[in-house]
């Protein structure tokens, strides 16, 4: 009897579970496929020949009235899937649990993922498995803003990966840079992201998104370190790396990356990369990430006090890519409003800021929307329209709070408190000084005071 790899056996279990759930709902394969998939695709999954993507799994689960985790983990009442599940030996058990932990993280169920991954650490793991498990643990901690715990998991993973110079080490350094930034050590975060970028370059990786994210993060570090010109260069490089990539080209990049892992037998990393591909290639998410990167570039130019800042922003408004992207267009308008207000042109600044707000969906939180509200608040205060200004400040600060942008929240709450105090609203000023203080403390409590 030929040997089935753990990846194949996991596929067989998912296929058996999917078929059982479909039959329990009295669905045909055609009904389950709907207009999104072919019947042959459903059939191949149920026979265990292929493993469905996370997106496909979520669609099937929704049609069957289940969660995708149910299709991965729930035991069968008839014993079909249970039999397949019991066929796994201890090594396969580990790989199965790693896969389901990944799914839990991508469903944003971070606390459950932490429990699942911590349990995995009680198993006997290979070096490669333990590195991946600690990477997933750090990812779940980051998702739940437990920065010091993330740092501990990453330090141990990097110790285990000390002699390795591969893609996973680059990912570990990237996450550690994110953690250090959240712990307010931007110098260390910058160094870690530059090391990750150097490793990625040496590997000749095709992962343009990862490279762009590393440049973007480096830009944010430089901005926090008041090195605005260097921040601007990093943001421009990040935009350049991903500029011009069509949707099909992006899929090809990730597909090639996945195939490289499959060819080397690293199925879990291939799966991890595939899931991340699906997540990052969601159209709305991709546009928002790029637009917020564009917004960060505008912030860097404003901070640098560059003489060409206004001209650059006005040229950007005429670019087709900006004109077709409401978020990017709103970003340019917000940054222009900031520039104009700082140059004593409040009335003109207000026109740009109002145009930006009109482009943004009122029910969607984003850094760009928060900045639009806050600059409108500053403009209204400059024009002595305090009540209207209060409404904008409260809306913008509320967004930053919901987005967990603690540092931006602290800075802007303190600025608002100063305006309130100057206006004679001492009691309300105290409330916002307290909000600024609490936001700073929240950063330190989540990662340990520096």
**Structural domain of 5:** 1-88
d(CA 320, CA 329): 10
pLDDT digits (tens, 9 = 90+) for 299-343: 676 776 666 778 878 887 877 767 777 888 888 899 889 989 988
Residue 447 and residue 356 in one domain: no
Closest among 326, 417, 322 to 369, alpha carbons compared: 326
Residue 335 and residue 435 in one domain: no
Residue 373 and residue 391 in one domain: yes
Is the predicted pLDDT of residue 394 greater than 90, yes or no?
yes
Domain presence at residue 103: no
Residue 298 and residue 398 in one domain: yes
Is residue 244 helix, strand or coil?
coil
Residue 366 and residue 433 in one domain: no
End residue of a domain, out of 46, 63, 88: 88
Is the predicted pLDDT of residue 268 greater than 70, yes or no?
no
Domain presence at residue 302: yes
Q: According to the model, what pLDDT value does residue 5 have?
A: 43
pLDDT digits (tens, 9 = 90+) for 338-392: 989 988 899 999 999 999 999 888 777 888 899 999 999 999 999 999 999 999 9
Residue 371 and residue 421 in one domain: no
CATH no. for residue 300?
1.25.40.10
User: What is the CB-side half-sphere exposure of residue 421 using CA atoms within 13 A?
Assistant: 11
Closest among 251, 275, 269 to 68, alpha carbons compared: 275
Sign of CA dihedral 410, 415, 420, 422: positive
Domain presence at residue 220: no
Closest among 118, 109, 27 to 69, alpha carbons compared: 109
| Per-residue burial over 409-422, b = 16 or more CB atoms within 10 Å of its CB, e = otherwise | bbbbbbbbbebbee
Residue 20 and residue 33 in one domain: yes
pLDDT digits (tens, 9 = 90+) for 68-94: 666 765 443 444 344 444 444 466 677
Residue 324 and residue 429 in one domain: no
Domain presence at residue 231: no
Q: According to the model, what pLDDT value does residue 149 have?
A: 92
- Please indicate whether residue 281 or residue 142 has the higher confidence score (pLDDT): 142
Residue 10 and residue 58 in one domain: yes
Average pLDDT estimate for 408-432: 91
Is the predicted pLDDT of residue 282 greater than 60, yes or no?
no
Is the predicted pLDDT of residue 290 greater than 70, yes or no?
no
Residue 436 and residue 393 in one domain: no
Confidence of residue 293 (pLDDT cuts 50, 70, 90): low
Confidence of residue 274 (pLDDT cuts 50, 70, 90): low
d(CA 385, CA 16): 65
CB 6, CB 96: distance < 8 Å = yes
CB 388, CB 380: distance < 8 Å = yes
Residue with the two structure tokens 């970003």: 331
End residue of a domain, out of 88, 104, 128: 88
Residue 392 and residue 442 in one domain: no
Query: Model pTM?
Result: 0.56
For 120-127, the CB contacts below 8 A with 24+ separation are: 120/94, 123/90, 123/93, 123/94, 123/97, 124/90, 125/94, 127/160
How far lies 375's CA from each of 30, 349, 382, in Å? Answer: 53, 9, 10
Domain presence at residue 173: no
Residue 307 and residue 416 in one domain: no
Average pLDDT estimate for 152-181: 88
CATH no. for residue 2?
1.10.260.40
Domain presence at residue 211: no
Computed over its alpha carbons, how large is the radius of gyration of the chain?
A: 25
Mean pLDDT, the chain, whole residue set: 78
Looking at the 3D structure of the chain, how many domains does it have? 3
- The encoded tokens of residue 391 equal 């409404």
Residue with the two structure tokens 């030929």: 2
pLDDT digits (tens, 9 = 90+) for 91-139: 667 777 787 788 788 777 888 889 989 888 888 888 888 898 999 999 9
Q: According to the model, what pLDDT value does residue 26 have?
A: 85
- The encoded tokens of residue 350 equal 């207000």
End residue of a domain, out of 88, 119, 150: 88
Domain presence at residue 263: no
Q: According to the model, what pLDDT value does residue 271 have?
A: 59
CB 261, CB 267: distance < 8 Å = yes
d(CA 48, CA 8): 7
User: What is the CB-side half-sphere exposure of residue 172 using CA atoms within 13 A?
Assistant: 26
Nearest 10 degrees: Cα torsion 312, 317, 321, 325: 130
Average pLDDT estimate for 253-280: 55
């Amino acid at each position: 009897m030929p040997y089935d790899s753990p990846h194949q056996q996991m596929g067989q279990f998912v296929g058996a579970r999917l078929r059982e759930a479909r039959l329990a709902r009295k669905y045909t394969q055609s009904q389950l496929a709907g207009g999104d998939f072919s019947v042959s695709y459903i059939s191949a999954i149920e026979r265990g020949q292929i493993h469905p993507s996370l997106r496909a799994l979520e669609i099937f689960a929704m049609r069957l009235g289940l969660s995708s985790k149910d299709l991965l983990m729930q035991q069968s009442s008839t014993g079909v899937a249970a039999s397949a599940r019991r066929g796994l030996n201890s090594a396969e058990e580990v790989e199965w649990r790693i896969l389901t932990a990944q799914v839990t993280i991508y469903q944003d169920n971070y606390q459950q993922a932490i429990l699942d991954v911590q349990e995995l650490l009680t198993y006997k793991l290979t070096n490669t498995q333990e590195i991946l498990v600690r990477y997933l643990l750090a990812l779940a901690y980051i998702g739940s803003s437990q920065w010091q715990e993330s740092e501990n998991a990453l330090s141990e993973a990097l110790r285990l990966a000390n002699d390795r110079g591969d893609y996973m080490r680059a990912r570990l350094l990237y996450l550690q840079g994110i953690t250090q930034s959240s712990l307010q050590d931007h110098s260390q975060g910058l160094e870690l992201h530059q090391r990750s970028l150097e490793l990625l370059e040496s590997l000749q990786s095709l992962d343009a998104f990862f490279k762009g994210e590393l440049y973007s993060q480096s830009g944010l570090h430089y901005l926090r370190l008041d090195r605005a010109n260097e921040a601007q260069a990093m943001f421009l490089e990040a935009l350049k790396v991903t500029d011009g990539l069509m949707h099909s080209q992006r899929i090809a990049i990730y597909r090639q990356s996945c195939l490289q892992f499959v060819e080397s037998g690293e199925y879990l990393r291939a799966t991890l990369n595939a899931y991340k591909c699906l997540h990052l290639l969601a159209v709305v998410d991709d546009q928002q990430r790029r637009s917020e990167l564009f917004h960060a570039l505008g912030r860097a130019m404003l901070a640098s006090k560059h003489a060409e800042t206004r001209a650059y922003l006005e040229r950007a408004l005429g670019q087709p890519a900006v004109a077709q992207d409401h978020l990017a267009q709103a970003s340019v308008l917000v940054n222009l409003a900031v520039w104009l207000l700082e140059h004593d042109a409040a009335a003109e600044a207000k026109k740009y800021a109002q145009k930006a707000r009109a482009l943004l969906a009122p029910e969607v939180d984003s850094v760009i929307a928060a900045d639009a509200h806050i600059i409108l608040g500053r403009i209204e205060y400059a024009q002595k329209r305090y009540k209207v200004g209060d409404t904008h400040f409260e809306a913008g600060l509320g967004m930053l709070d919901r987005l967990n942008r603690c540092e931006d929240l602290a800075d802007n709450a303190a600025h608002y408190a100063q305006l309130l105090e100057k206006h004679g609203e001492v009691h309300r000023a105290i409330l916002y000084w307290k909000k600024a203080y609490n936001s700073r403390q929240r950063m330190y409590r989540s990662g340990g005071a520096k």
